[in-house]
Amino acid sequence: MAFQQFPQKLGIPSGNTAARPASPVIGDTFYNGELEILEIWNGTSWVAVSAPPSTPQIVSVTNASSGDAYTTSTAGKLAVVFQPGSGGGTPSQYNAFTTAGGFSASSSSTTVTLTGLTLGTAFTVYGNGQNNFGTTTNTPNAAPVTPSTRPEAPTIGTASTSSTTTNVTVTWTLGSNGGSPLSAITVTPYLNGTTAQTSQNAATTSATSIAFTGLTAGSAYTFKVKTTNANGDSPETSATNSVTIPIIVPVDFLVIAGGGSGAGGNSGAGGAGGAGGYRTSAGTSGANSTAESQLSLNGGTNYSVVIGAGGAAIAASSSSNGNKGTDSTFSTITSAGGGGGCGTSTATRDGGSGGGGSISSTTGGSGTANQGTSGGNAGSSPNPNYAAGGGGGSSTQGGNGVTASFGGAGGEGTASTITGSSVTRAGGGGGGAGREPGGNNFDGGTASGGGGAGGSSYGGAGTNDGKNATANFGAGGGGAGYNPTQGGGGASGAGGSGVVILRYPDTRTITIGAGLTGTESSASGGFKRATITAGSGNVSWS
């Protein structure tokens, strides 16, 4: 009788591996004497049921906390997926371990989730399988993986704006990035605290503030902030305080002070009055200086305006100095009144533009930097018959008086197109004429830009009088002429009153307050203009 190498065990077929049944069905058992284990067909393969499992493989390790919102009590998770080894018993449990930190977890499924891990730290993982018959050797280490969540919500700061800009500065303090670098910081405005508007991103992912732009003037907003990393968005912060965006009105200006009057002519020809100071943001400013900066003003806020008066005329047969013009102001802009013409002293000759010199005070007055020029000098010899200097204009200096001859011409004014057409204003007055000892008579100095011509030396009622400057041109009055044989000196010309002209977008309307005289033009070329000709008070825009 032949010896059976693999006898049947308790009615279970047996044999070597090659002798397994050719067409097994699920549940068939077979004792594999070659491997010394009991096997069962699971529909796909023969599986050992009476032996330790073979070492599994780690198929993947992934961040299992990526979808979690960050909280201080939630730590990272890694999902470890195993694949059973071939041969050996079926594992009843899979075990996963970190190489550092002492973290471990087990599962009866092929996916094991490690929890409580430090966010943002890379962990290397290994594992094994086990059943009732034993535990496998450990798998090789898998590549390190870093657990991370969505970022923590920032802590909101404040929202603030200033009266000179529609930008709002929003601040915050960053929270944890959830273990993954931030990719964006998003700031969202809420109109009236309720309706979300278009968001903007901070310049960098480490920023703690933003200058938010493009908001609607006159509207109120709150702001919320959120951060983003590779896993998604943090919750939004709570809302900031509410801020109302100021209405900013860009305003160009022309501010001209009152011009000085000319001097009387009792002791000689009178010096002419200088033009009032000339300041503008719309073209060339006084003394041929560059335009000043446009003003950015707030809608609904009052801004002061004062229109300077021209210097009063000096009566005939008086040698008094001309009167200085009065300053004109608008908001932060002040233009200096024009200097009075020289008579018997230099007391009033300096101003926006200087008054002209006389025989008693030969040198003309000085102008104010970037507002006007100097007055002209009197004739070069100290003789009361000699002519006086012209008043300084906003563009050029007054002309010098000619010895015993014609009065000096008034300095030129400056042209501006702020009203839409070119108008020259703030010229100096003409100096008074002298009379040559031989009896020849001469004309007073000429003037432009609204200035008054100087008085002549022809004599007769009114002939020696200097001429008045044009109102609201800020020009200088003419100096008195002198004729000692025919009535002495004449009266001087009065200085012209100043003016304030404002140009602003046609979407705005000005209110010219009590105490001021002025008008607003119709819209033209995208602008309106207000011309204010007298008084003191406030203006505002809506």
pLDDT computed for residue 162 by the predictor: 85
Give the model confidence (pLDDT) of 479-490 as tens digits.
Answer: 998 877 765 678
Residue 395: partners with Cβ closer than 8 Å, 6 or more residues away: 284, 286, 287, 288, 373, 411, 412, 413, 414, 426, 449
Task: Choose among 346, 341, 318, 343: nearest CA to 490.
Answer: 318
Give the model confidence (pLDDT) of 404-420 as tens digits.
Answer: 788 999 999 999 999 99
pLDDT computed for residue 379 by the predictor: 84
The stretch 155-181 carries a mean pLDDT of 94
pLDDT computed for residue 489 by the predictor: 75
- Inform me whether the pLDDT recorded for 21 exceeds 60: yes
Q: What is the spatial distance between Cα 62 and Cα 146, in angstroms, rounded to a whole number? A: 8
pLDDT computed for residue 486 by the predictor: 63
Could you give the C-alpha distances from 162 to 152, 166, 169, 193, in angstroms and in order?
31, 8, 9, 20
pLDDT computed for residue 386 by the predictor: 79
Length of the chain: 542
The stretch 149-168 carries a mean pLDDT of 93
Q: 329 - beta bridge partners?
A: 306, 334
Task: Choose among 187, 190, 191: nearest CA to 202.
Answer: 187
Determine how many CB atoms are found less than 10 A away from the CB of residue 195: 9
pLDDT computed for residue 383 by the predictor: 64
Dihedral angle sign, alpha carbons of residues 100, 101, 104, 110: negative
Task: Choose among 265, 258, 316, 257: nearest CA to 479.
Answer: 265
Q: Which two tokens stand for residue 110?
A: 């092929």
Q: Kindly compute the dihedral angle of the four CA atoms of residues 508, 513, 517, 522, in this order, to the nearest 10 degrees.
A: 20
- Inform me whether the pLDDT recorded for 170 exceeds 50: yes
Give the model confidence (pLDDT) of 264-313 as tens digits.
Answer: 887 788 999 999 999 999 999 999 999 999 999 999 999 999 999 999 99
Give the model confidence (pLDDT) of 114-134 as tens digits.
Answer: 999 999 999 999 999 998 788
Mean pLDDT of the chain: 92
- Inform me whether the pLDDT recorded for 37 exceeds 90: no
pLDDT computed for residue 51 by the predictor: 80
Give the model confidence (pLDDT) of 321-377 as tens digits.
Answer: 999 999 999 999 999 999 999 988 888 999 999 999 998 788 999 999 999 999 999
Q: Which of 200-204, 313-317, 450-454 has the highest mean pLDDT?
A: 200-204
Q: What is the spatial distance between Cα 346 and Cα 393, in angstroms, rounded to a whole number? A: 18
Dihedral angle sign, alpha carbons of residues 346, 347, 353, 359: negative
Give the model confidence (pLDDT) of 194-228 as tens digits.
Answer: 999 999 999 999 999 999 999 998 899 999 999 99
Q: What is the spatial distance between Cα 453 and Cα 207, in angstroms, rounded to a whole number? A: 66
Give the residue with greater pLDDT, 419 vs 456.
419
Long-range contacts of residues 191-194, Cβ cutoff 8 Å, at least 24 apart: 191/216, 191/219, 191/220, 191/221, 192/219, 192/220, 192/221, 193/220, 193/221, 193/222, 193/239, 193/242
Q: What is the spatial distance between Cα 479 and Cα 117, in angstroms, rounded to a whole number? A: 95
pLDDT computed for residue 394 by the predictor: 98
Residue 94: partners with Cβ closer than 8 Å, 6 or more residues away: 56, 80, 82, 106, 107, 108, 109, 110, 112, 127, 128, 129
Give the model confidence (pLDDT) of 325-338 as tens digits.
Answer: 999 999 999 999 99
| Four-way CATH pick for 155-246: 2.60.40.10, 3.40.50.150, 3.40.50.2300, 3.30.559.30 | 2.60.40.10
Q: Which two tokens stand for residue 25?
A: 């069905």
pLDDT computed for residue 6 by the predictor: 45
Confidence category of residue 437, pLDDT binned at 50, 70, 90: confident
pLDDT computed for residue 64 by the predictor: 96
